[in-house]
Structures are given as C-alpha cells and as structure tokens.
Chains A and B, each alone.
Chain A
Amino acid sequence: MVEIKTAEELNKKYLREGMWPTIFCNGCGIGVVLEYTLWAIEELGWDMDKVVFASGIGCSSRLPGYINADGLHTTHGRAIAFATGIKAANPDLNVVIFTGDGDCSGIGGNHFIHAARRNIDLTVIMVNNFVYGMTGGQSSPTAPIGSVATTAPYGNIEHPFDICGIAKALGANYVARWPVSHPYQPIKSVKEGLQKKGFSLLEFLAPCPTAYGRRNKLGDIKKLWKWYDDNTILIEDYEKTMNYGNEKEKEEIKNKIQIGVFQDIEKSGFFEEYEKLMMMLQEKKTTGEKK
C-alpha cells in the first residue's frame, strides 16, 4: 500500500473530486471534520469498501456525498436509526454517521438516546455549530444561552443540550468533544472512536460564520475561529481548577465549553449480547433434543 503524506494524495484516494469544491460557506468548519475523519481512516488503513457513511439532513449531512464510498442520505434526524439497520444487516461493515447538532440532538434526539443506551457499534460524528445552518440560522438545542438566532432575536433563553454529558450518562463507550481549530487531538480521537466496539460519539465544535457568527458579532472568520480557542477548556484543566483553584479562577472558567475525552470504557454492545443470547438458546435446544 502506498503511504499517503499530502492532502492531494488523500483527495485522490478518498474523494469524489467531481463534486468538489464543496457548497459550504467560506470559513465553515465542516470540511475540516471531513479531513480529520479521512486522515484517521487513512492511518487505520481501512478498506473503503467496508465503510458506510450515513447522514441525515443539514449542512454536515452533505459530507457522504463528497466521499468515494457507500453512503446513505436519510430523512431528518433518522440517520442513526438507518445506521442501526445497516449494522444489523451486515455486522462486518463499519458504519460512520455524520450528523449535525439540529439533526442529532434536536429532531433525532430520541434515536440518539436509544442507540447510545443499547450501545450499538456505531461511530457518530456530530458537527455542532449551534444553529440550523441550512434553513437559515434557527436556534438549535445546543446553542449557548444568550446567542442570537433568527428564532431568538433577543438572545437564546433556553439552556443548551450537553450532548456529551447525556451520552456519558447513557454509558456510551467513547465520548469526546473537540473544536476543529487544533488538528492532532481530534484525529487521534476519531481513530480511537472508529476502532471502539460499541457506541462512540465525537462532537466537533465547528464554526459557522454565515448563520451563527454574523448574528453574534463574530462575522469575521478569524474572530470566530479565535472564539473557540478562548471559550474552550480541556476537561483535565477544568477539573483541576474546580478542585484546587481560587474563586476568581473558578469564575473565569465557569462558562467555558469543556473539551477532551469524557468517557473511554469497554462495555459489551447490543449485537454481542444478542449473539450470546442466540448461542445460549441454540445450545439449550440441541441439548434438549438429546434428552
């Protein structure tokens, strides 16, 4: 196998180059998420015939169309439900789901919750940009308090949905959140998530200059990308400061978004348990016949 070193070689191997350039706006972070995923797959050396990409509706859900692999563009919020079907029909396939914050936490919230609860062997890559970008910038469930959107012209008053927190509580095997502005940690994290048996959730904080930044005085692309650096904090640092810091330090980091790997456990998944049950019942049947 030829070792890939540059983005151009990566493009030739993995992309439908006729579809490019993407339709994403200038300064959008979704393309970066695609790039990190492809680098992770390249480092793992996976065969693309064994990888299926599923997506729902939204900006981020256009990603499977750009990759030269099997993909499924499904109804709004139901990407995880369709992906469960793929995995059930052919467990040899590696199923990766690209989904947005409105798609995954808003409209498909219940599908997400139950897939995480059953611990189905899927990798969900959720691109969180705080708005329904494709439909014109409505406020999504993950939008921070006070953010302005077309449906929240005087600022959002709803508490945001901590999607990593809920996945952790439901016992997903791998939960991580990263901003797109630093490459190496997310690539490593995607690699771990893809290899993990069981449900793995990777949340990416992707900038949306057009629908989110423009209304929140962050329209400048550089300013918006810097906002993610200033308003995120590593989970290890956060815990350290909360345990040993003084009041001033605690006040400073209280409202920052925590990033890092939140959960990394080994728990048997739905299909493994199902296989065990099948084996047990078949044994029972054969031994029963002998008697």
Chain B
Amino acid sequence: MIEVKDDWCKGCNICIERCPVNALEESDRLNKKGIRPPQLKKNNECNDCRLCELLCPDLAISVISDKEVKKEDKKILLRPVGGTIK
C-alpha cells in the first residue's frame, strides 16, 4: 500500500518511471496544483521495495508494508484432541 500526500506532489512521475515492477500509474484525482498524483494499479504488484519513497524529491510517498497492516486474528475454536502429555 502506498500513501501519497497529494498536495506535496509536483507530478514529476519519477516514481512511475523508476518503479522496478511497474506498479504505479497516474490517478484520476487532481490536487490543488492541478496535478495527478500517483496511485497503485488495480492489480497490486507492489513488492514493498520502497524505491519510490526514497526517490521522491518531495517526500510525498510513504510505502506501508501490507504485512504490517493488522489483520484480525483468527480464534482457534478447536482444541487438540487427546490432551497434553506431561
């Protein structure tokens, strides 16, 4: 997942150009300068390499690893049969 500060983006498109897996594209929304900030493509191919974050001249992009986004823990309903051996 990437987060873009829309109003800091100047539209140089270096993130789109330099992405090694070609996962970014221009979005449909406009910021207050009339520039289209980047967004992830629909089929998300981002591998969290953070190159766009490090290369952005305006420090506008943050890459947040999907692994860090908290998923709901599944509760185990079943208990192991046979008891515990001590």
Residues of A at the B interface (CB closer than 8 Å) are 6-11, 15, 20-22, 24-32, 34-36, 39, 180-181, 183, 187, 221-222, 225
Q: State which of B9-17, B22-30, B38-46, B69-77 sits at the interface with chain A.
A: B9-17
Report 24 cross-chain contacts, Cβ distance below 8 Å, ordered by A residue.
Answer: A6-B53, A6-B64, A7-B53, A7-B59, A7-B60, A7-B61, A9-B62, A20-B58, A21-B10, A21-B60, A24-B57, A25-B10, A26-B12, A27-B12, A30-B57, A31-B58, A32-B56, A34-B59, A35-B56, A180-B55, A183-B55, A221-B12, A222-B14, A222-B17
CB-based contact B58/A181 at 8 Å? no
Q: In the complex, A189→B17 CA distance in Å?
A: 25
Taking the nearest CB of chain A, how far is it from the CB of B42, in angstroms? 23
A183 contacts which of B5, B12, B51 (Cβ < 8 Å)? B51
CB-based contact B57/A21 at 8 Å? no
**In chain B, what residue has the closest Cβ to A29?**
B57
Residues of A within 8 A of B63 (CB): 6-7
Residues of B at the A interface (CB closer than 8 Å) are 3, 5, 7-8, 10-14, 17-18, 51, 53-64
Residues of B within 8 A of A39 (CB): 54
Residues of B within 8 A of A221 (CB): 12-14
CB-based contact A32/B7 at 8 Å? no
Q: In the complex, A222→B14 CA distance in Å?
A: 7
CB-based contact A7/B57 at 8 Å? no
CB-based contact B58/A22 at 8 Å? yes
Taking the nearest CB of chain A, how far is it from the CB of B57, in angstroms? 4
Residues of A within 8 A of B8 (CB): 20-21
Residues of A within 8 A of B17 (CB): 222, 225
Residues of B within 8 A of A34 (CB): 59
Residues of B within 8 A of A35 (CB): 54, 56-57, 59
Taking the nearest CB of chain A, how far is it from the CB of B17, in angstroms? 5
**In chain B, what residue has the closest Cβ to A225?**
B14
Residues of A within 8 A of B54 (CB): 32, 35-36, 39, 183, 187
